[in-house]
Chain A
Amino acid sequence: MNACQVSVWAAMVAAVVGAEERPPLRAIYEDPTLDPPLTEIDRRVYPELEPLGIRPKLCSDAVFIRRLFLDAAGVLPSAADAAAFLADTNANKRAIWIDRVLDRPEFADYWAMKWSDLLRVKAEFPVNLWPNAAQAFHRWIRESLRANKPYDQFVREMLVTNGSNFRVGPVNFYRAVQNRNPEGWATAVALIFMGTRVEHWPSHRLAGMSMVFTELSIKPTKEWKEEIVFWDPDLPAKVAATGGAAVVAGPRVAEFPDGTKVELRGDRDPREILADWLITPTNQWFATVMANRVWSWLLGRGIVHEPDDFRPDNPPSNPALLEYLRAEFVAQKFDVKHLFRLILNSRTWQHSSVATADELAKAEGTFAFYPMRRLEAEVLIDAINKVTGSTELYTSPIPEPFTFVPETKSAVALPDGSITSPFLELFGRPARATGMENERSNRPIPAQWMHLLNSSHIQQKIQASATIAAIAQPNRKLPEIAEDIYLLVLSRRPTAPEIERLAAYEQKGVVRGRDLWNDIVWALINTDEFLYRH
C-alpha cells in the first residue's frame, strides 16, 4: 500500500468514526494509565528503547485476556472468562490470571502441538512413524508438558530410552527423522536441542558427533510395524562385517561440537555419554536455546533469530536479556512454566501492538511492540468453532481403513500430523518434515482470505450456529445482543460507535432477523482483530 492509499484509508476510517468528538480507536487496544514497575526482563529491554525515544504503552485489559489465552494455551477466552476478567478489580489480576491459564489443560495441548512440529510427530510422509507410534509419542509429550516435567529430564528420556515404538513414546525421537542413521540423528539433536544447523558446522564436526549413534539399533518385532529401539554395542562390528563401513583401527572416539572427546569402549551406551555432556547447566547450548525458544514463541521473534540458528555470526540482539533468561531457567531447575510465567508477567510481553510502520522499522529487534501474527491454522479453526459452536471432520488416509477422529477433538489437540483437514492444509499447517521452526507459515495468502470471506464451509458454521441463535433471540435489543456477540468473538465489549454501525447495517435492510447477526459474526470473524494475535 502506498502513502496515498494509506491516507485515503485513514480518512475513510476517520470519516466513519467521526474522529474529532470520539476517543481514538487505539484506546480500545492500549491503556496509557497502566504503569507497573519494571521486571527484571524489562530492565534489560527498556535501556534499548530510550535512545529510540520509544515509551511503550501496555495493552488494554481486553487485549490482555485474549492475548494470554491465545499465547499461553492456544485458545480463545470464553465470553464468560473475558467478562470475568474485565470485571475483576484486583490490582494484581493480570498475574493471577496468568497462573490460572498456565494451569489449564489446553496449555499441554498447545505446547504438545508445538513440540510435535519440532519432533515431527507424523504417521506417514515424509517422516514415517506409523499411527500407533505417533500416538504413543504424542501422548508422552503431552503428559510431560502437563506434569511440567523439567526440561532436562524431558530431553534425557528422549535421548537414552530403549524400547518399543508403540509402548515407549520417547524412543520415537530416533524414528521421527527422514534419515535413520547416525548423521540423521546427530543432525536432529543439533537442531532441536542445540539450536544449530549442521549446514553451518565445519565438515568434521558432524562426523565426530555422529559417532555416539553408531551403536544405536532399531529392529522389527512380530507385530506389524512395531520396532524396538535399543543399544547394541556390537553394532559397529556387525556393520563392518557386512561391508557396511570400513573397519576403523584403534579406539572409537566421539567428538562433541565444543571439542570434548570421549572414547567409546562398549561398556556404556554412548547416548548416555552424549546426554551427560549436553544436559548440564554449563553446556553452552542447552539451556540458552530453550530459553530463547520460549521467548520466541511468546514474542514472535527470538533474541537469537531464528531460534534454531545459533552460530557465532548470528549473535543475540540483547545478550543481557538472553543471559538472564538462561540463568533463571537453570536456577529453577529447568522449569519451563517458570519461564512462561516470567515472560508473561513482564511489561514487555504486555506491550501494545498498535504502532506505525515507521515506529516498527525503527524498533526492529527491540521488543518495543507486541508483534501481530496471524493465528496458526489449528488455533484459528478452533477459534471459529468455539465462536460458532461447531466441529470439524479430521481424517487420516493412512493406513486404510481411514482414521476418523471424534468431532469434539480440537485441531490443536490432534496427535498426528497425518490427521488433517483441507482447512488446516490451506492455512499453512507444517508438513512436519524438518523440525525447523520456520516450517510453519502464518503469512496469509489470498486463497485463505477467499475461504474465510466466502466459503460454504465458514458460512455454514455461522448459519447453523446454535450459539449465535441463543444470543440473537428476537426479543432482545440490538445493543444487548451486540455486547454478547463482541465478548464471544473479540473478547471485549463493543464501543458506542460500533453499536451505531451495527444499527446502521440493520437500517439498510439488506438482511433481516437471524441473517443480520450471521452477517455481523461473519464480519467480526474476518476482522484483523479476530485473525491476528495483537
Chain B
Amino acid sequence: MTANRAFPDPRDGISRREALRRTGVGAAALMAGAARADAPAAPPAATARSVIQVFLWGGMSHSDTWDPKPDAGYDYTGTFNKAIKTNVDGILLSDLFPMLAKQADKFSLIRGMTHGNNGHETAAYLMQTGHMPGERLAYPAIGAVFALFKGYQAGYKGLIPPYVVLTRPQGRFSESGFLGSKFKPFATGGDPNAPRFEVEGVVARGITDQRQAARRDLLNEMNVLAGATPDHPELAHSRECREQAYNLILGEGKDVFDLSKEDPKLRDRYGRHTFGQSCLVARRLVEAGVPYVTINYPGGWDTHSNHFATMSRQCPQLDQGLATLLQDLHDRGLLESTIVWCCGEFGRTPKVDWQPPWNGGRNHFGKVFTVLVAGGGFKGGRVVGATDDKGEEIKERPVYPIDLLGSIYRLAGIDPDAKLPHPLGYDARVLASTEAGAKTAGLLTEIM
C-alpha cells in the first residue's frame, strides 16, 4: 500500500523524519496518500477479536514517558532527564520504562495525538467516543460499541458480559451513552491483587457454595408471585436474568477471575500490585473471548502537584504490568488478535510549573500527547508522528480521536459509519463524520 511505502519501517535504517526530509514529502501529501489508501473497495477482514484498553485517568505526561525530551532543559524535564534505548533502533523511552523498552518491537507509539481539549470529562468523552462533547446526543464509549457489535447480538455466547471494566467505572461520563444500561460495562469491583479477587456480584465474601445453593432453593420457594403468575412476560424475563446471573455465580464462568489458577511466577512477573494483576485478569478475559476489557488505572495521573513523586511511584507499575501483558499475549499467540491501547484523556504541559501551589507540577495538555497501540493488526516497532524538541508542538502527522478509534474499529471489522440504534431513531453513527466537522488526518494505515 502506498501509505506503508511512504512510512518506511524504522528498522530499515532510516527514521521516518529522515525519510520525509530526503523525499521532500510533506505531512499534508502523506495524509492525502493515507486518505486515498483509506477508501478501499471492500473492507479488509477483521484481525482483532478483542481489545484491552488501559486508561490513564487524569492524563499522563507524554514528555516524561513515551515521548522523552531529555535535552529540553531542567524547566521542562525536572529530574526526569534520561532516555533509554529500546529493542528497536531509533525509538527512545524515558528511563522510567525499562521493561517496555524490551518490548518496543511489539507496540507502536502515536506521538502526534491531539484534540486540543483540556477538560477531564470532555476530553475523556472525546477520546473514547470520537464525538465532540456538547452535541445533542450522548454517544456510547468504544467499549459499549463493541458490546453492541461484538456482544450477544452478534453471537457472543460467553457468560462474562462482553464489556468488562477492571475494577471501577470512570464515573464521570456514561460509558453506554444513549445505548442504555444494557451496554454498560460490567465493573468487577474488588482487588485482583487481594488473596481472593472478590468480583462484585460473582464471588461473594463469606458465602460458601453450599450456602449459595441452599439460598437459591429458598428464593425459588419463596418467590410466590412468580408462582401465582408463572408465564407473565415481565417475570419470565426476571427469571431469565436470575438464571444467567446464577450461571456465573455458581457455574464455571467465575473461574476466569480466579488468579490462583495462574503460575505464581507469572503473577510475579506481572507485578504484585492491583494494576499488574488487573493486566493478568484482562489476559484471562481475552482468552475467554471477552471482546472489550478496559483497565481504569488504579490511581490518578492528574499531577498538577507532587508530579515527580507520583510518576516515580506509578510508572514502574505501569511499565511492569503493560510490558508483561504484551509479552504474555505474544507468548500465547493472542497478540495478533488482541489490540492493546493505552493513554489518558490528554497529556501534560511539557514545561514544569514550579510556582506555588503546584511546586513542580504539570497541567492539562490536550494539544499533543502520546498513545501506545499494539496487536490485533497494529504493527509494532513504529513511531507515528513527531513533536518539537520540547514536546509542545506537533511537527508531523497529527492523529485525531476519530483516526485512532476509526483504526481500532477498522481492525475489529466494525464500520465506523454504521448506524447506532438511537431510541428515537436519530441518525447516530459509530464515529462523527468529517463532513460534520470532525477533524481527521487519516486512519493509522502506516501501522496497520
A residues neighboring B (CB under 8 Å): 1, 6, 9-10, 12-13, 16-17, 24-26, 28-29, 124-126, 178-179, 197, 199, 353-357, 360, 371-374, 397-398, 420, 422, 425-428, 431, 433-434, 436, 438-439, 441, 443-451, 453-457, 459, 498, 501, 505, 508, 510-511, 519-520, 522-524, 526-529, 531-532, 534
Chain B residues with Cβ below 8 Å from A1 are 231, 236, 239-240
Nearest CB on B from A56, distance (A)? 15
CA distance A147 to B55 in the complex (A): 48
Contact A457 B225 (CB under 8 A): no
CA distance A508 to B181 in the complex (A): 39
Contact B249 A453 (CB under 8 A): yes
CA distance A26 to B232 in the complex (A): 13
CA distance A427 to B180 in the complex (A): 10
Nearest-neighbor residue (CB-CB) of B216 within chain A: A453
Counting chain B CB atoms within 10 Å of each CB, the highest count among A9, A453, A531 belongs to: A453
Q: Is B357 an interface residue (CB 8 A)?
A: no
Chain A residues with Cβ below 8 Å from B239 are 1
List residues 148-193 of chain B with CB under 8 A from any CB of chain A.
Answer: 161, 169, 171-174, 177-178, 180-182, 184, 186-187, 189
Q: Give the interface size bracket for B toward A.
A: 35 or more
Nearest-neighbor residue (CB-CB) of B170 within chain A: A397
Chain A residues with Cβ below 8 Å from B245 are 446-447, 449-450, 453-454
Query: What mask results when residues 235 to 247 of chain B are scored 1 for a CB within 8 Å of chain A, else 0?
Result: 1111111101110
Contact B204 A455 (CB under 8 A): yes
Chain B residues with Cβ below 8 Å from A24 are 228
B residues neighboring A (CB under 8 Å): 121, 125, 133-138, 161, 169, 171-174, 177-178, 180-182, 184, 186-187, 189, 198, 200-202, 204-207, 210-212, 214-215, 218-242, 244-246, 248-249, 423-426
Chain B residues with Cβ below 8 Å from A457 are 200
Counting chain B CB atoms within 10 Å of each CB, the highest count among A434, A445, A450, A455 belongs to: A450
Nearest CB on A from B229, distance (A)? 5
Contact A125 B230 (CB under 8 A): no
Chain A residues with Cβ below 8 Å from B136 are 178-179
Chain B residues with Cβ below 8 Å from A438 are 423
A to B contact number (C-beta, < 8 Å)? 211
Contact A453 B201 (CB under 8 A): yes
Contact B138 A433 (CB under 8 A): yes
CA distance A125 to B223 in the complex (A): 40
Chain B residues with Cβ below 8 Å from A510 are 210-211, 214
Pairs A–B under 8 Å by Cβ, sample size 10: A24-B228, A25-B225, A26-B228, A126-B138, A178-B136, A197-B424, A441-B182, A519-B215, A528-B235, A534-B225
Chain A residues with Cβ below 8 Å from B224 are 13, 17, 25, 28, 498, 527, 529
Contact B232 A360 (CB under 8 A): yes
Identify which of A453, A454, A524 contacts B222 (C-beta below 8 A). Answer: A524
CA distance A530 to B239 in the complex (A): 14
Chain B residues with Cβ below 8 Å from A439 are 423
Nearest CB on B from A171, distance (A)? 21
In the complex, the 3 A-B pairs of residues with the closest C-beta atoms, listed nearest first: A450-B201, A13-B227, A25-B228
Counting chain B CB atoms within 10 Å of each CB, the highest count among A6, A454, A510 belongs to: A454
Contact B218 A519 (CB under 8 A): yes
